[in-house]
Amino acid sequence: MSNDTCKWESAVHPHKCNEPVLTSFRTYAEISAPAQPHRYCILHSSRGDKDVHEFARKVEERMRAPEKIDLIDCHFPKDYDFNLCEGRTFDVPVHLSGAVFSRSSFNDAKFLKPVYFIGATFANAAFRGVTFSQGAYFIGTKFWQEADFGRAHFECEADFIGATFAQRADFSGTSFSGETSFNNVVFSTSGRFFKSTFDDVTFTSTKFERGANFEQTAFSGCADFTRTEFRGWTRFIKITKKMPWYGIFRYTLFSDNVTIQEVDLSRCSFLHSEIDKVDFRHCHFGEEKEYFLGFIPISRKNVLCDESTAKTNLDYDMTSRVYRDLVKNFDEKGDRYMAIDLFYGEMECRRKQMGRWGRSFSVHALSRQITGYGVRFARSAFFIGMLILVSCLFYRYHEGLEPGEAFNQSLFGINVLLAHVYHYSEKLSSLGIAYFCFEIVLGSFLTTSFVLILQRVFTPFK
């Protein structure tokens, strides 16, 4: 060892290293090579042949420091014995930012204070079963080989902003209890979150380049997937929840191999996302109560959260586009009941853009009341029934027909198009004949729309 001290300087903190520089090199070529980091100490040197026992001794010395463990920018050689770290309890803050690990294992360790791996580089990383009691910061960290965080517990903030996972990233069974951020992360192969639990998590602008597995993942609070790119085999299956979860999938890119199955989507927003190719199976969209004729409550199914929360015309316009994509999606799969509900939603969004009066008094509003935008046959049937009833009463009490005759007369008016039956009683007054003509016009309209609705409901949408 020489008396020179290490030339390493922290890029972020104004502190230096007082360790002596390495002097022992193997060959002359290594010494004379200009790129050789012979200006650094055993901790900061990136040389592969540095004395691993001496390195471990120095690391141990720093790990026993009373206030914080400072191993910033240290290079851990391949042969370093991580048994010294596995299962270990770290009760002071750990600074490993910028550190380089040829391989690493912190399995079952406990970090009781914050731990910083900002800008660190891992070949393979094992954090299985690790407890992070306070903040864990993996900002900009690079994982070149498999990263295993299975069954780890992040009890406070977890920050993976800008991290890169070049190979498989495994977060199976991992719990994230604090605010968690995977923003701008690149998962070059699959990201596995099988049975993990999240409180609040953001995946904003994250790229899953070869799939993501969110099977039986538990989300509570907000899960923000804004601008996330899902490419490859991606599964959201049986998302469980302790509390309501709010899924934000805005501007999200879904490739054509994404399945969302048995998931409660009643609080999920899909604005500006292209979801016409997502394979939705047995998913539950929201429900809303609406009032038929202004006072009869009916439950409306498959309502998007975006419609319930929309305030401006622009919001309704954007939501109607999401509905249209979903109609196309379900129609192509042959799920016409779903497609019909979603088509109704699209029409509702258009009606709600019409302003205060247009919402209630327009052809659109009338079509909603009488035919449910041409997809609710029960409404048509109701109005046909009402017309028969009113006509019966009119012919019986105003025109004085016998009950049977009054009923037949009202059916003639309704049936004129369908059965080509056209007959009116000689006992009708001129007002009665005028009413009969009116009944023919209204009855024809109602029966035609009824038939068209049935045809639409029981045959494919297009």
Residues engaged in binding Zn ion (CB under 5 A): 6, 8, 17, 19, 41, 43-44
- Nearer residue to Zn ion within complex by CB, 22 or 340: 22
Q: How far is the CB of 16 from Zn ion (least distance, A)?
A: 8
- CA–CA distance, 282 with 260 (Å, rounded to integer): 9
DSSP string of 140-185? T-EE-S-EE-TT-EE-S-EE-TT-EESS-EE-TT-EEEEEEE-TT-
Q: How far is the CB of 19 from Zn ion (least distance, A)?
A: 4
- Nearer residue to Zn ion within complex by CB, 10 or 415: 10
Q: How far is the CB of 37 from Zn ion (least distance, A)?
A: 10
Q: How far is the CB of 10 from Zn ion (least distance, A)?
A: 10
- Nearer residue to Zn ion within complex by CB, 19 or 199: 19
- CA–CA distance, 284 with 334 (Å, rounded to integer): 17
Residue (of 356, 352, 277) closest to 320 by Cα position? 352
DSSP string of 205-218? T-EETT-EEEET-E
Query: b/e map of 239-250 (b: 16 or more CB within 10 Å)?
Result: beeeeebbbbbb
Q: How far is the CB of 41 from Zn ion (least distance, A)?
A: 3
Q: Is 111 exposed, middle or buried (0-12, 13-18, 19+ CB in 10 A)?
A: buried
Q: How far is the CB of 48 from Zn ion (least distance, A)?
A: 17
- Nearer residue to Zn ion within complex by CB, 6 or 71: 6
- Nearer residue to Zn ion within complex by CB, 6 or 326: 6
Q: Cβ(184)–Cβ(203) under 8 Å?
A: no
CA 4 to the chain's CA centroid: 55
- Nearer residue to Zn ion within complex by CB, 41 or 258: 41
Q: Cβ(17)–Cβ(45) under 8 Å?
A: no
Q: How far is the CB of 329 from Zn ion (least distance, A)?
A: 58
- Nearer residue to Zn ion within complex by CB, 6 or 387: 6
Angle between helices 336-352 and 430-458 (to 10 degrees): 120
- Nearer residue to Zn ion within complex by CB, 15 or 427: 15
- CA–CA distance, 377 with 32 (Å, rounded to integer): 88
CB atoms within 10 A of CB 167: 16
Q: Cβ(410)–Cβ(435) under 8 Å?
A: no
Q: What residue type is assigned to position 377 of the chain?
A: F
- Beta pairing partners, 122: 101, 143
Q: How far is the CB of 137 from Zn ion (least distance, A)?
A: 22
- Beta pairing partners, 264: 284
- Nearer residue to Zn ion within complex by CB, 75 or 192: 75
Q: How far is the CB of 121 from Zn ion (least distance, A)?
A: 17
